[in-house]
Structure formats: structure tokens, C-alpha cells
Structure 1
């Protein structure tokens, strides 16, 4: 069973319905906070029933500071079952023949800024990847808000350095997208500003050799722009892999 204790934080699998409800409440705060709507207070969907949920808690207080969920797939032929497949045309990945995991609904409590939270979360995911022999991680990485102009430098950097290999490139499926690789083809990013604008989860994926779709989906339900993100485990630089396993161990 996945469990990890490092310093101030403990990562563990949800033990039942109450743990899942706590994760849904944190997700609502992170993704939907301030939106008055029916069912406000919990962010829940049908994928919660088929996913495994991971909680990162403050060891001293038990407060939930981070959560995410993951969906194991035996190979790319099952990718149509994923959350991401609602938004991206992923037939190129159907030929991937190794075990995959979709990592989703990742969030950190808005009042928490400790980088160790992200490290512990990735350490927990690394332990699962190693134990299960996972060969690819994927999911949707989100920018807050739906106005692409605010993130042009970040998108220009993604276009210039981090697009998916052609053999895996997701195609457009969602009705409302920002085709940044096309729209920003001539833009040179301000690297410092781009990194500041990049969400922490996406920045971590990229540091490990991850890649993204050539367009962002405008998700007005969650008030985000998100890109499909993939990471082939064998492509992680050795030094980065050692650092992750040091946390996971």
C-alpha cells in the first residue's frame, strides 16, 4: 500500500468515503472556491469512483494540504477510459504498449506555500510508479483562469521546447481551445516570465522530460486552461530519477 512519511508531511491512500470527501472539499477550494453553485463545497465527478485517491496531510495536525487521484491503465488501448480523453483526441497513444497512469485533480491548499508538499506528493507517486512498473504518466496540467493572453510567454516556451513527439501528439477534440503552437509560432518567450507563470505541477513534469499538447483546452467549468501532459518514465534524467527515489524511499 502506498504510504510515505517525510518530515512534516505524510502521504497515504484514501481509506474510505470520508477521505474521498475530504479530497473533494479541498479540490472545491482549489478549483471552485468562491463560485456559488448547486453542490458547492465538493468537487466530485464520476471518475472519483474508479480512481485511487492520495492524500498528503500535515503530520502534526492531520490537516489535508494536498491531494490527487490516479487511474491505472494496462496499456494505451485503454486510454479512452481516461478523464483526459473527454478533452483530447488521444488515438495516437493507443499504440503505447506499457502500463500507464493518469494523474489528475492535483491540488495544494491555497494557503500553503511549502515546496516540501509537492516533493512528498511526487515521492508518493514515484513509489507507485516503481512498484507497479508504470511506463507513462499523463494528465491535464492547469493554468488558473481562461484568458490565454496572460500566459503567452509560458505557452510560447511550451511551443519552443516541450511539444509532444509527433508519434504521441494529442489532436483537438474540445470545442474551445487555444492553439498556442500555431498562434504563437513567431513569439520568442521571456524565459524568466514563462517559468514564473508555469504551474508548479507542470513545471515539475517538464523538469523530468515531460511534454505537452500543441493546444490548451479552455475549461470554463473549472475556470482553467489546461494542456495534455505526458511523461515517459524511461526519459526522466538519471539525476532527477535518483532525487525522486530518494524522497520515495
Structure 2
């Protein structure tokens, strides 16, 4: 992330956004990052599971969503790329051939490890998180949001209708088509098994991306370490529906 965007993205004390009882702020040191990693471990692996860490944590900025008592309720991390030529160094590039996106232009914002505290149901927490993302996009001029959206478990048959729906209606434009790189993938058969109620099978985060005009890879990657099936997801900020853009900017203030 450029020093300009990094320094200007937050106000005093690292606060990105504050609304009512909640605030979104940048992690300020190892203790904050450790708290985010612990919450990720709880959300991804359950009580008693490992803390979630990976080699990309030191390269990313971490955003914490807290209540007025300082209790961590949600978090995510982001990697800022000034130009699309550097997309090969992103987390997603470990699993997907992103060669075509190298010509997209920049800046780009990769989002990852988005999670909420188990049992946390207040919708204002997620609204604040998305308001913080909107603020980062606007202040840095990001042209593309991207990342991996995960389905729980590795049973592909469970998600056959969802994958058919994604392949038929939300596949990436040909010019940005995402190539296969991972060893174990599930290729989508557009429309295969598409059924009523298919949206219930799609994770909430991915539904949000799709509602902003997002598109996905034509296959899912089997991630046995994380016990997920994930798909590459891109959102071109210029193509986000105006009503959704206005709503996000209203939150961002």
C-alpha cells in the first residue's frame, strides 16, 4: 500500500469509521494482529482450534471492528496493490492463474480473512465493516476489489446447484477469465442442478459481492487445510450499482 493511502486512510488513533456503539480501526501492533488471528481461528476452526495465521499477515493491514468496550466483533485484512502488474504477489494468486488481470490497471484492493465472532448477529457490525471498505476504496481510488470467497467444507456435491448458478450467471468476463492453478479444483457446469433457493447455499459474503455486480472464477479450489471450497471473486468498483454505492458511501460518511 502506498504511504499516501496508508497514512490518509485512517484518522487519529487508526480509526477508519465510527458509528453508534461500534468502530472500525486499523491494527496498531502485534497485539492487535494477534487478537484478529485469534478471532479468525475461533470463527474458522471453532473453540479449541488453532489460531489462524499465514505468511501474508505481515504484508497486510488488519481492520478490527469493536464495540464501545473494546470487544473485537469482526475483522478482515487487506493488501493494497498500486498496479495490477503486482497481482501475482497476492494471496489469491497462490490458487488461481490471474495472468489476465495483470492488464486490469490499478489500484487494486485484495480483501481476505473476513470473519465475525460466532454468535454475533448485529447487522450494524457488518454495515460498519463495509463502510470501512468503502472508505478505503474511495480514499485510495481502488478500481478492483478481489479475494477468495469460501464455502464451508469440501463436499462439492452439497454445492452443486450453487456452483451451477455461479457458472451460469456470474462467471468472470472472458477478458478477465481466471485460469486454473491449484491441483484440486471443482469445475462449474453452468446451470447444472440449479434449483429454487440456491442463494441460501451461497455464503453471505459472496452474496454481498454478487449484489455489487461481482463475478467469479469458473471453478472452486479445494482447500483441505482450511476445510473449504473457495472461488475467486472480483468486483469492479466502476460497475457497482449506483444505489449500492450511495448506501456504502452514506455509511462511510
The two structures have a TM-score, normalised by structure 1, of 0.93
The residue aligned with 1:28 is 41
Within 5 Å, which residues of 2 pair with 1:210-221?
210-221=214-225
Structure 2: runs of 5 or more not aligned: 1-9
The residue aligned with 1:63 is 71
The residue aligned with 2:213 is 209
Within 5 Å, which residues of 2 pair with 1:31-50?
31-33=44-46, 40=50, 42-50=51-59
The residue aligned with 2:24 is 11
The residue aligned with 1:91 is 99
- Alpha-carbon distance in 2 for matches of 1:186, 1:200: 21
1:46 partner SS: coil
Deviation at 1:185? 3.3
The residue aligned with 1:177 is 185
- Alpha-carbon distance in 2 for matches of 1:66, 1:123: 13
Length, aligned pairs only: 240
- Alpha-carbon distance in 2 for matches of 1:179, 1:64: 37
The residue aligned with 2:125 is 117
The residue aligned with 1:248 is 252
Whether the aligned pair in 1 keeps the contact of 2:160 and 2:193 (CA below 8 Å) is: no
- Alpha-carbon distance in 2 for matches of 1:186, 1:14: 42
Deviation at 1:8? 2.9
Deviation at 1:169? 1.0
The residue aligned with 2:232 is 228
Deviation at 1:31? 1.4
Deviation at 1:15? 1.0
Cα 1:186/1:24, change in 2 over 3 Å: closer
Q: Give a deviation string over 1:4-48, Cα, whole Å, max 9, x none.
A: 112232111001110000000011111122575xxx2x2111111
The residue aligned with 1:75 is 83
The two structures have a TM-score, normalised by structure 2, of 0.91
The residue aligned with 2:192 is 187
Root-mean-square deviation (Å):
1.3
Structure 1: runs of 5 or more not aligned: none
Deviation at 1:153? 2.0
1:127 partner SS: helix
Cα 1:223/1:34, change in 2 over 3 Å: farther
Whether the aligned pair in 2 keeps the contact of 1:153 and 1:191 (CA below 8 Å) is: no
Q: Give a deviation string over 1:121-177, Cα, whole Å, max 9, x none.
A: 110000010000111000000011111111122212111211000111111100011
Whether the aligned pair in 1 keeps the contact of 2:83 and 2:105 (CA below 8 Å) is: yes
The residue aligned with 1:143 is 151
1:167 partner SS: helix
